[in-house]
Amino acid sequence: MIITDYWMPEMTGYELLKKVKESSNLKQIPVVIMSSENVQTRISRCLEEGAEDFLVKPVRASDVSRVFSRVLR
């Protein structure tokens, strides 16, 4: 599983997600994106591109537990 922030120095989490999903070697790896900004269009776009989940910070332990339970089953 890859857990990444949306905003990173070299690329966005969305750009990373697209690269992972376009790679035949990596596309099966679940990607979870986090951000402190609750921008619905951004969240929807990431989920449509194949993100397993999009968590809005601050992230609670229950959020992480829910994602791990669903993704790693």
| Mean per-residue pLDDT, 66-72 | 90
**Radius of gyration of the chain, Cα coordinates, nearest whole angstrom:** 12
Q: Which two tokens stand for residue 42?
A: 């951004």
Q: Is residue 63 exposed (0-12), middle (13-18) or buried (19+ Cβ within 10 Å)?
A: middle
Hey, what domains does the chain have and what are their CATH numbers?
Answer: 2-71 (3.40.50.2300)
The answer, yes or no, to whether residue 30 has pLDDT greater than 90, is yes
pLDDT at position 72, please?
A: 81
The residue ranking higher by pLDDT, 70 or 57, is: 57
Nearest to 47 by CA among 25, 14, 7, 3: 14
CA distance 29 to 52: 10
The answer, yes or no, to whether residue 53 has pLDDT greater than 90, is yes
